[in-house]
Chains A and B, each alone.
Chain A
Amino acid sequence: MNLLNILAEIEKADPEVYGRLDSRRRVFRHLSGLGGKLATAAVPFALGSIFNKAYAGATATQATVLEVLNYALLLEHLEATFYNLGTGSIAITSALSANNVKSLNAIKTDENNHVAFLRGVITAAPFNAAPVTPAATDFDFTGAQGGSRAALFADVLTDPNTFLAVAQALEDTGVRAYKGSATDLMSNKTVLEAALNIHSVEARHAARIRTMRRGGLQPAGDRASFAAPGVNLSTAPKSWVSGRDNNGPVPGTTDAVYGPGTPASGTAATIFFPAENNVIQAGANISALLTTANITGLAATSVAAAASEAFDEPLDMATVKAIARNFVKTGTPTFALLS
């Protein structure tokens, strides 16, 4: 392989190649290694990286980034409204321990801050755009879509157990949604980092809600986290997603939150959206890989669950929108945005 010839050939097709690569000097810094630290085996890997970096911005448009930002904002509005209503419900807060109420208030604050942050990004340069602004009354957390069908969670704002069940589904959806769209943000590293770091706060929320559901509404001494996961992952989940979590808090209704997106399968080089019980990463069956590795202390019976639990799977925009529509009144502008 003659690397210099490759660059010369690319230059014929794309005279700006060196501009894209920062500078000719930088190419050689990559290829030769400053002080010679690039092993032979790493050269093809590094070369791929250089070109990925150089062309990422040219293919992903600013419009794509803006679309993702407004989509994330809509989901944050949904979550913020949900917690604003829930923490305002005496029926819910009076049934929970003080510490559990405090946790819900902290999550509410975070979600409202996420709304403010995303609105700020969208209105500022380079986007200078109008952010989506759903009315709080566009949402219907009972899942009846404003009365156009039977409610899925009729007592969501009066029964703390139902509220926490829906909260878990929303937080787990949020984690998957951000992850699913992150790769569309690679052209804007600042936005990418912010989105991924909102996403990890969502994961902290999800873990907290799960710990609360496992520990009960008024855990003795507020030590909710002491409870072991129950046999039933729907009612006493782990703090992380295990397999498909028995299809979530309400099996038959919350299945999509833990199921596959579109496309559901692919190769190590493509982006796809498997269900949460997926154990194939980077093209390898991690469960099998661990079994072969025969690691001291790792119980054979734990391998399959661990291989699934260790990764949160992404979800595509269309699938997430379908989940979110459950909580929006039909005929509203917000419903249209999610369709």
Chain B
Amino acid sequence: MSDSFFSRSGALHRRTFLRVAGASAATASLVLAGCSDPAPAPIAANPNLLTLTDGDVGLLNYLYLVKQVQVAFYQKVIGALPGDFSDAEKLSFNDLRDHELVHRETLRFLLGTNAYDVLLQQPLPLDFSSLNLATRAGVLTAAQQLEDLSVAAYAGSLRLLAAVPTAALLAKIASTEARHAAFVRDLRTPGSFAGTDVVVNAGALQSVSLAKTPTQVIDETKAFFLPIVISPILLPTV
């Protein structure tokens, strides 16, 4: 199922995307007063493009978006866990969902009015039709994919943050995600908690977690967000 936000609700608030994707003309002219740089070119109005801003705000919005995927995934599967999930596994999946909710609400609080979805009337409808969620194996495969991706996302973005307290807070989330990933991997294949596909297995960085840049992570999650396209081009890279 691929619900388009637009076909369903009519309109994503245009203001929301201006907020994320651009400043008002007034802001630009205020800041640029006295500056010889040419005025920025107007942004082409692509209502499906969500361009993350520069700096910590952009990075936090990026991690907040990844978190939306995780929450929506667990909300979806917990409502209909395949019958071969044991009672113990169901309890654990409730925990995973609850933790992701905690993370999402914490990031939302941290972002305040800078959250990309402040003016959204409803959350982005995430499309999980690419995942097979009808079997235990399918659910565990998908959960592992998302948890490992989340670990790699934190591994590759904490160094890009400027504010020390923000980095400290996100590190608290990063290791919880690693616990999740190890647990889900062990559910799927006992003993695969730190497999060589997620931990570097050669060279100087052997046994260090694999990191992915925001661009890589957004590329791997893009199918979930369609028709919305997320652009990381303004995010810090060093």
The residues of A that contact B75 with a CB separation of less than 8 Å are: 297
The residues of A that contact B168 with a CB separation of less than 8 Å are: 179, 182-183, 271, 314
Cα A227 to Cα B182 in complex, Å, equals: 15
Contact with A along B159-175 (1 / 0, CB 8 A): 10011110111011111
Q: Is the interface of B mostly helix, strand, loop or mixed?
A: helix
Which B149-192 residues have a C-beta within 8 angstroms of A? 151, 154-156, 158-159, 162-165, 167-169, 171-183, 186-187, 190-191
In this complex, the member of A29, A45, A50 whose beta carbon has the largest number of chain B beta carbons within 10 angstroms is A45
Of all chain A residues, the one with the shortest Cβ separation from B172 is: A311
Q: Is A199 an interface residue (CB 8 A)?
A: yes
Of all chain B residues, the one with the shortest Cβ separation from A278 is: B172
Of all chain A residues, the one with the shortest Cβ separation from B96 is: A240
Chain B nearest CB from A99 CB (Å) reads 5
B207, A110: Cβ atoms closer than 8 Å: yes
B193, A196: Cβ atoms closer than 8 Å: no
A36, B101: Cβ atoms closer than 8 Å: no
Cα A99 to Cα B193 in complex, Å, equals: 12
Q: Find A183's partner among B20, B98, B167, B204 (CB 8 Å cutoff).
A: B167
A205, B207: Cβ atoms closer than 8 Å: no
A203, B43: Cβ atoms closer than 8 Å: no
A312, B164: Cβ atoms closer than 8 Å: no
Q: Is B194 an interface residue (CB 8 A)?
A: yes
The residues of B that contact A50 with a CB separation of less than 8 Å are: 55, 162
Known: A36-B40, A39-B114. A186 touches B164 (CB 8 A): yes
B238, A189: Cβ atoms closer than 8 Å: yes
Q: Is B35 an interface residue (CB 8 A)?
A: yes
Chain A nearest CB from B162 CB (Å) reads 4
Q: Is A207 an interface residue (CB 8 A)?
A: yes
The residues of A that contact B101 with a CB separation of less than 8 Å are: 290, 295, 298, 306
The residues of B that contact A36 with a CB separation of less than 8 Å are: 22-23, 25, 27-28, 40, 43
Known: A192-B159, A284-B109. A30 touches B55 (CB 8 A): yes
A194, B205: Cβ atoms closer than 8 Å: yes
Chain A nearest CB from B113 CB (Å) reads 5
Contact with A along B197-237 (1 / 0, CB 8 A): 00100001111111100000000000000000000001000
B102, A286: Cβ atoms closer than 8 Å: yes
Q: Is the interface of A mostly helix, strand, loop or mixed?
A: helix
In this complex, the member of A111, A200, A228, A299 whose beta carbon has the largest number of chain B beta carbons within 10 angstroms is A200
Sorting the interface of chain A by its residue count into under 10, 10 to 19, 20 to 34 or 35 or more gives 35 or more
Which A257-294 residues have a C-beta within 8 angstroms of B? 268-271, 281-282, 284, 286, 289-290, 293
> Could you list 24 A-B pairs, sorted by A, with CB under 8 Å?
A4-B34, A34-B40, A37-B234, A39-B23, A39-B24, A39-B53, A42-B53, A42-B57, A43-B27, A46-B55, A103-B191, A189-B238, A194-B208, A200-B154, A207-B183, A211-B186, A224-B190, A225-B183, A228-B88, A281-B172, A286-B102, A297-B78, A297-B79, A312-B176
Interface residues of B (CB under 8 A from A): 19-28, 31-35, 37, 40-41, 43, 51, 53-57, 75, 78-79, 86-89, 91-92, 94-95, 97-103, 105-106, 109-110, 113-114, 151, 154-156, 158-159, 162-165, 167-169, 171-183, 186-187, 190-191, 193-194, 199, 204-211, 234, 238
Interface residues of A (CB under 8 A from B): 3-4, 25, 28-43, 45-46, 48-50, 52-53, 56, 99-100, 102-103, 106-107, 109-111, 113-114, 116-117, 120, 175, 179, 182-183, 186, 189-190, 192-194, 196-208, 211, 222-229, 238-240, 268-271, 281-282, 284, 286, 289-290, 293, 295, 297-299, 302-303, 305-307, 309-314
